[in-house]
Amino acid sequence: MEVRSPTSRPALPLINDLGPGETETLMLALELPGSSVLLDDGLARRVAESLEIEFTGTLGLLLDAKNKGLIPSLMPRLDQLQTLRFRLSSQLRSIFLELAGENE
């Protein structure tokens, strides 16, 4: 993994509601074809889809880590995210716990 800023400013759709982090992430993905990005913001995900940029979210990343044995359990991570004010509906929480084999 490499952390860097975009070197150019490829044309992104002019969307005022995207934050600077999401905008920079999408610009980097355009500079690095075939890359995958981490996005949780709904608007940023829609823009990524329209630009054919592969993405996952925090929950998908955690589920993948659980499935690969990198973390023992998803539940404490979801609890921690919720204490940090990560928006997660009880329905979505249940779905991800079920996918992880951790039915509540």
Q: How high is the pLDDT of residue 19? A: 85
Q: How high is the pLDDT of residue 44? A: 93
Residues 86-100: what's their mean pLDDT?
A: 92
Q: Which of 100, 31, 7, 21 is nearest to 61 (CA)?
A: 100
Average model confidence (pLDDT) across the chain: 88
Q: Please, are residues 17 and 38 in contact by the beta-carbon 8 Å criterion?
A: no
Residue 37 φ/ψ, nearest 5 degrees: -120, 160
> pLDDT tens digits for 8-31?
665 565 566 888 889 888 888 888
Q: How high is the pLDDT of residue 28? A: 87
